[in-house]
Amino acid sequence: MSWADMSPRKDVSRHAGAAEQGHVDFDSDFADLRHRARHLIAEIVRLSRQLADLQKTIRSRPGHAGRSRDGASATE
C-alpha cells in the first residue's frame, strides 16, 4: 500500500471536531488536497521515469530490434 492510499490521520480528528462545532474549514481541506496532489504528481513523474528507463533497457537487449510495440514480429 502506498502513502497515497492511506487517509491522513489528522483528517479524522479535524472532521470529527468540525462536525461537533457545526462548521468545516475548507481552506485547510483545500491545502491538504493541494499537498496530496503535489505528492501524487511527484509519484507519477517518478513512475514515468522508471518506466522510460525500463523501456530503454528492454530496447537495448540483444534480439529486440525489429519487434513492434505490441510484440509481433516486423514481418507479420
- Kindly report, residue by residue over 2-24, the tens digit of the pLDDT: 655 666 555 555 555 555 566 77
Rounded Cα gap, residues 68 and 66, in angstroms: 7
How confident is the model at residue 62, as a pLDDT?
86
What whole-number distance in Å separates Cα of residue 34 and Cα of residue 49? 23
CB 45 within 8 A of CB 37: no
Q: Place 68 in a pLDDT band, splitting at 50, 70 and 90.
A: low
Tens of pLDDT, residues 38-48: 999 999 999 99
70 — pLDDT class (breaks 50, 70, 90): low
Q: Which residue has the higher pLDDT, 73 or 41?
A: 41
Q: Which residue has cell 492510499?
A: 5
